[in-house]
Amino acid sequence: MFLLHLQGKSGGTKQMKQFRKLFEANFKSTFREKAVWGWSIAFPILLMVIFLTIFGGSNDGESTFEAHIVTVMEEPNELASRIQLVLKQIPVLTWEKDSTVSRAEAAEWLKEKKIDAAIVLPTSLDAKGVELLLNKEKENSILNQAMGGILNGVLQEVNYQIANVSPQLTLQTKYISSGSDKLKYVDFLFTGMIALSIGQAGLFGMVGMIEMRRNGLLKRLMLTPISMGTFGLSQTLVRLILSIIQIIILTFIGVFFFKASLHLNILSFLIVFIVGTITFSAFGFMISAFTKSMDGYMGLANIFSLLMMFLSGIFFELSMLPSYIKPIAVISPLTYFANGIRDSMVYGIGIMNSSFWVNIGVLVLWGIATFAVGAKFFKWRA
């Protein structure tokens, strides 16, 4: 019995030792892999920080909502002045101009996105309506919804003040677009998704370079008569073909299933499309220069993709972002690519417009910079 007890104890000790060794090996192999730190630690933290920063507000309890507005008073009267006075007491409203402006000027500022809203005050004591003019692109945005709620509250207060006096004020909301009046929010969203899909295809499209370098194919390719320039041109052509397929499919879905309306300027669209595709392919090439494995490439590409996805005006207006986050959106290449795609597909803006050249200029700078960095640090041999 004593011998059996010793044998059982010895067997248990051996199993514990094996378990400890396996645990140590698995622990080291797991946490030695950089992709684990990226996907399991850095990625969830980055995702949480982005969403809490955008939607969580500030920590001191103060509102981060801010709307730039103007008022239109076509005929000065006591009722209009009273509403203006109540509006002046709302702290989250920032007045672009202290005095009232004309309706035409307010509409132009809305189209140019200099302001978030314009309020057309009643033209007389007998008028029953107050108009809220908003930008069409922001039709479904939180800012527009908040402005409607704020103005409804103002009208309720004024109605209470004039409870025994006719009329009772009502709110009418109208949307103004720099394109056609038939444009809808879905038009802006789906063109943003086209820009995003092309950008992501470029960011993730160079992952094959990692595998070709790992298995020595790039090294053998350098020994052939084929020049690296020809090789790079063929890669770019593949990206362009893939992007064309993406545009055709997404446009078909947007137009036939979601009733999106387009006002296409073919020349400006083609230029933006080609420059943007090349720029994001260069970005993917730069990522491949700093990674040695496919996991590392995918992790780094996903970080860039996530940042640009939420900070480039694809899903919501950049005006929602806190002031200390907006500089990232200003330098993001996807911001200018999305603007260029929207301008050429939704507004029909041509190459003579200054905004077209701003978008192209930034994309070209990003393309040159990322390609230069990638070419300097890329190792053709594993």
pLDDT digits (tens, 9 = 90+) for 109-126: 877 777 878 888 887 777
Q: Which residue has the tokens 């005929």?
A: 75
Phi/psi of residue 315, nearest 5 degrees: -100, -30
For the chain, give the mean pLDDT.
Answer: 75
At 89, is the secondary structure helix, strand, or coil? coil
pLDDT of 34 above 80: no
pLDDT of residue 179: 56
DSSP run (H or E) holding 98: none
The residue with greater pLDDT, 305 or 138, is 305
For the domain spanning 67-176, the CATH number is 3.40.1710.10
- Does 228 or 202 have the greater pLDDT score? 202
Position 266 scores a pLDDT of 92
* Residues near 269 by beta carbon (within 8 Å), at least 6 away in sequence: 341, 344, 345
Q: Quote the tokens at residue 240.
A: 């362009």
* Percent of the chain predicted with pLDDT > 70: 67
pLDDT in the model for residue 62: 43
For residue 337, pLDDT beyond 90: yes
Q: How large a percentage of the chain has pLDDT more than 90? A: 11
Q: What is the pLDDT of residue 292?
A: 81
In whole angstroms, how far apart are CA 189 and each of 139, 206, 250? 11, 27, 12
Query: Which of 177-181, 276-280, 346-350, 361-365 shows the lowest mean pLDDT across its residues?
Result: 177-181
pLDDT beyond 70 at 257: yes
Please tell me which of 93-97, 118-122, 219-223, 324-328 the model is most confident about, judged by mean pLDDT.
118-122
Helices and strands (H and E) in the chain: how many: 15, 5
In the chain, which residues fall in CATH 3.40.1710.10?
67-176
**pTM for the full predicted model:** 0.66
